[in-house]
Amino acid sequence: MLELLAYLQDSELVARFQRCCGLYLIREGAESHHNMSRNQTCRTGTAHKDEACGQPRQRFDNNSNAEYKENGHCVKNGRRPEYEVRTPLLHLLFLFSSGLGHEVFYISCLPWLHWNLDPFLCRRLVNMWTVVMYVGQVLKDLLKLPRPLSPPVVKLEKRVVAEYGLPSTHAMAATAISFTFLYSAPSRIQFPFEVGLIIAVTLSSLVCLSRIYTGMHSVLDVICGLFISSCILFVTYPFWDTFDHYQLTSPFSPVFGISLPLLLSYTYPKLDHYSTTRGDTTTILGVCAGCSVGYWFNVQLGETFEPKEALPVPLPEITTTSFTYGTVRFVLGVLALVGTRQLVKMFSLHVLYWIYKVPKSDLNARKRKEIEVPYKFVTYTSVGLVNSILVNRAFVYMGLL
C-alpha cells in the first residue's frame, strides 16, 4: 500500500503524463529539445525510452533536488525551467480547464447563475464550494505534503507554487460544483439527467487532469481531492434542504452567516511559511458570508428573484433577445462585482495600514495575518452582498429582468 501511495505521489509520474500530452521540460543550457538525440546522456541524468509514451525522459539523481526549494519550486539561477509545447490545442484546453478553479471563474460563473438562471442554484453551489474548499485548504496546511518537484516536472503556474499539494482543491471544487449542480438542478429546471451527468463528469475530469498537466499536483493529490469532495457531498446531501431553509428564514442566520466564516478565517492553521492558502480561504469564506446574509435579506424584502412558475421550469429558450439581455446582465454584473472588489479592497487596506502604522509602499504587509484576513474578508463579503442583493435589483430598474 505504501509503495502504491509513493508511486502515485512520484513527480516522475506527473512528468511522464506531461510528456504524453506534449509538454517537455528543456534543461537549462540546452538550446532546444530537438537538438538532443534520444539516447544522449544529460548532465544530471540519462535519457531513455518512456515505455508508456514511446518518448525520451530524464531520470535525475537524488542529489539534484539540492538546487531547488523543498516544495518543488525551481530557484536555480533565479529562473524557472523553460518548456516546449508540442500540442498547442491540448495545452490551451488544459490551461482553460485549470482556470475553472481560479477566482476569475468564480466571480463570473457563479453569479451568472444567479442573474440568468436561478439564485437558488447559485446559493447551493456557493455553500458547497465554501465547505469543500475550506476543508481542502486546511488539510493542505496540516498534512504539509509537497507539490511535484521541478525538474522533472514543468510547472506552469507561479502564484500557488508555495502552497502544499495534498489534496487538490481544484479537483475538490470541480467535483463539488459539478455534482452539486447535477443533484440540485432537476428539482428546479427540466433537463435530461444523462446529459447533465456527462457534462459533470467531463468538466470535473478536465479540471483534475489539468492540475497534473500544469505540474501543480501529483496523481495522489488529485485522487484524494476527488475522494474527500465526494465524501463531503455524500455526508451533507441529506441536509441540503434543511440548511437552505435555516439560511433563508432563521432570525439568527445573518449573525451565524457572518460570525462563523470570520471565526474560521482567524483560526486558520498557522503557516510555517507564507503561502496563498490563508488569504484564498478567507476570500471564499467572505464570499459565502456576504451571499448568505444577502439571500436572507432578499427573503425579508420579499423578492428572491427565483422562478415564479411551477417547478421544475423548462430550460430558457435561447433567442436573440434573451442572449442579448443575458450578455448585458453578465457584463454589467461582473463590472459591478469587480468595481466593488477594487474599491473596498483599496479602502480597507488604507484603513488597516493607518491602524497598524504601515507605509503604503510596503506590499509585504498584506501578508501579515492582522491585515490579510480583515481586508480580504471585508472585500469579498462586500462582493457577496452586492451580488446577492443589489445587482438583480439594478437589473429590474434598468428593465433587464
Closest CA to 342 of 311, 379, 306: 379
Distance in angstroms (rounded) separating the CA atoms of residues 111 and 95: 22
User: pLDDT grade, residue 262 (50/70/90)?
Assistant: very high
User: pLDDT grade, residue 380 (50/70/90)?
Assistant: very high
- Cα distances (Å, whole numbers) of residue 268 to 145, 205, 305, 372: 18, 29, 35, 12
Closest CA to 160 of 174, 172, 146, 173: 146
Are the beta carbons of 107 and 113 closer than 8 angstroms? no
**Is the pLDDT at 289 greater than 70, yes or no?**
yes
- Which of residues 201 and 315 earns the better pLDDT score? 201
Q: Kindly give the interhelix angle for 277-301 and 240-249, rounded to the nearest 10 degrees.
A: 60
Number of helical (H) and strand (E) elements in the chain, helices listed first: 15, 6
Closest CA to 400 of 313, 306, 321: 321
245 assigned to active site: no
- Provide mean pLDDT across the span 330-334: 93
Q: Which of 217, 245, 273, 350 is catalytic?
A: 217
Q: What are phi and psi of 107, to 5 degrees?
A: -80, -5
- Provide mean pLDDT across the span 276-294: 94
| 330 CB burial (10 A radius; 0-12, 13-18, 19+) | middle
The owner of cell 490545442 is 89
**Is the pLDDT at 268 greater than 80, yes or no?**
yes
**Is the pLDDT at 388 greater than 60, yes or no?**
yes
For residue 225, the surrounding DSSP H or E stretch is helix 219-236
Mean residue pLDDT across the chain? 85
Q: Which of 48, 73, 170, 273 is catalytic?
A: 170
| 286 CB burial (10 A radius; 0-12, 13-18, 19+) | buried
For residue 283, the surrounding DSSP H or E stretch is helix 277-301
33 assigned to active site: no
- Grid cell in block for residue 4: 502504491
Report pLDDT for 274.
86
- Which of residues 328 and 103 earns the better pLDDT score? 328
pLDDT tens digit string along 153-197? Answer: 999 988 788 889 999 999 999 999 999 999 999 999 998 999 999
Closest CA to 232 of 154, 160, 179: 179
DSSP 44: S
pLDDT tens digit string along 121-138? Answer: 999 999 999 999 999 999
Percentage with pLDDT > 90 across the chain: 63
Q: What residues are paired with 45 via a beta bridge?
A: 60
At residue 141's C-alpha, the angle toward residues 135 and 146, to 5°, is 115
